[in-house]
Amino acid sequence: MVTAAQVWEALAEIPDPEIPVISLVDLGVVREVEVDAGHVRVDFTPTFLGCPALETMRIAIAEQIRALGAEPQVNVCLDDSWSTDRITPAGRAKLRASGFAPPAPRTAGAPTLLQLQSNVHRCPYCGSTDTRLENVFGPTPCRSLRYCGSCRQPFEQFKTI
Amino acid sequence: MNEQDARSLLEIADDELVLGWRDSEWTGIAPFLEEDVAFSSIAQNEIGHARALYELVAREHGTTADELAFDRAPDTYRCTQLVELRLMEWEKTIARHYLYETADGLRLERLKESTDPKIAGLAAKIDREEAYHRIHAQMWFDRLQNEPRFTAALQDLWLLAQAVVPDDLRPQFAARMGLSTESGSEPQSRTEHTAEFPELWEEMTVVRRSQPAGTRW
């Protein structure tokens, strides 16, 4: 009989469809796993609501559970239970290693332009904070574009939400 | 979920779906690359918000988000006229963006206080993303606020924009915009649509209507 720990392990093998260096568990989108006699219920919260990877994630989770010999039920939570603060420390390290600046921690209240323009954002290539905001938006809704004045490298910054 | 709440969520979902559709018309042809990227992302977010709002209503009513988004007759949509307009002049697009995001921010603030935890929860999630739309709109306002074409566009669209928020939020909306609600005219009702809307609806639903319900893609 499959256990919750085995399910978590299996989910940790599913890469994020758009940023495959990190897994769904690293991303913090899996909120709850409940196992009941061969039936597995997974609650997960989308990152961005318009993320086209949502359906891909749902299917991947179901397939992974079937591979464990259990019957999946995957619920998409439409609530406020995900923020970029849920990305795990391991996930952040993997993002940085592949050239994505991980999101800054969320402060009280919504992010502001001043925060985006402040010099706390570190270049994932050289580590300098001499970086500037190029575009609030980027190649996917979860990313902004920044430029590093030190190593002269443009890079993608995960938005803090 | 009570009927009044379901109606309000559908109004907002229709606004977001139709505005997402209009914003996506800049994909590939925006005045410069950064804005092509920005408006494509904003459009994607708005349509994502519409999907989630339709889904919340659909779960209550035993239907699906797609049916609510695409299987209704055009005269049953409850979007405001502001979002229906095809505005292919940049200053007008930006004026609408600034007006709409300000109004939507006020509407979300109220929704986050809803006594229904499902509505409050989704509103809070949507607002996390909308914060970036407001930052983007504000940057453009700061840049264009003294340009006559932009200020004229704001004035032209102001009456339509007031219809985005419930009546009792209009004074607060006007105060945030620094504009007056006393023009002598009432904002249009959400049951009235522009002459441009039927064509948008035709295009928006053509793929769905071309395939029998239940087709898997």
Domain boundaries, chain A: 4-76, 87-158
Question: How many angstroms separate the CA of residue B125 from the nearest CA in chain A?
Answer: 5
Find residues 141-200 of chain B whose CB sits inside 8 Å of chain A: none
B185 within some domain? no
Helix (H, G, I), strand (E, B) or coil at B61: helix
| Helix-helix angle B117-144:B33-61, to 10 degrees | 160
Q: What is the CATH T-level fold of the domain A4-76, as seen in this structure? A: GMP Synthetase; Chain A, domain 3 (3.30.300)
Residues of chain A positioned with their CB less than 8 A from the CB of B47:
50
**Whole-number Cα distances in Å, A127 to A118, A119, A120, A131, A132:** 15, 12, 11, 10, 13
B49 in contact with chain A, both atoms CB, cutoff 8 A: yes
On whether the CB atoms of residues B12 and B32 are closer than 8 A, the answer is: no
Nearest beta carbon to residue A49 from set B40, B51, B139: B51
Q: What is the pTM of this model?
A: 0.95
Residue of A nearest to B105 (CA): A110
pLDDT band of B58, cuts 50, 70, 90 = very high
With a cut of 80, say whether residue B87 has pLDDT above it: yes
B186 within some domain? no
- Dist. CA B100–CA A143, nearest whole Å: 23
pLDDT band of B213, cuts 50, 70, 90 = low
B216 within some domain? no
State residue B146's pLDDT score.
97
B25 within some domain? yes
- Dist. CA B42–CA B23, nearest whole Å: 7
pLDDT band of B214, cuts 50, 70, 90 = low
- Dist. CA A136–CA B11, nearest whole Å: 28
pLDDT band of B217, cuts 50, 70, 90 = low
Residues of chain A positioned with their CB less than 8 A from the CB of B49:
49-50
B126 in contact with chain A, both atoms CB, cutoff 8 A: yes
CB contact under 8 A, A48 and B135: no
Residues of chain B positioned with their CB less than 8 A from the CB of A107:
none
- Dist. CA B49–CA B14, nearest whole Å: 10
State residue B212's pLDDT score.
67
Tell me the residue type at B110: R
- CATH code at B60? 1.20.1260.10
B30 within some domain? yes
CB contact under 8 A, B52 and A116: no
What's the N-to-C CA distance of chain B in angstroms?
32
ipTM of the complex: 0.93
- Dist. CA A101–CA A87, nearest whole Å: 12
Residue A43, strand partner residues: A32, A75
φ and ψ of B140, to 5 deg: -70, -40
Q: Which domain holds residue B125?
A: 3-179+193-210
CB contact under 8 A, A138 and B138: no
B203 within some domain? yes
CB contact under 8 A, A138 and B52: no
B215 within some domain? no
State residue A4's pLDDT score.
96
* Domain total in chain B: 1
**pLDDT in single tens digits along all 161 residues of chain A:** 899 999 999 999 999 998 899 999 999 999 999 999 899 999 999 999 998 888 899 999 999 999 999 999 999 999 999 999 999 999 999 999 999 999 998 887 788 888 888 888 999 999 999 999 999 999 999 999 999 999 999 999 999 99
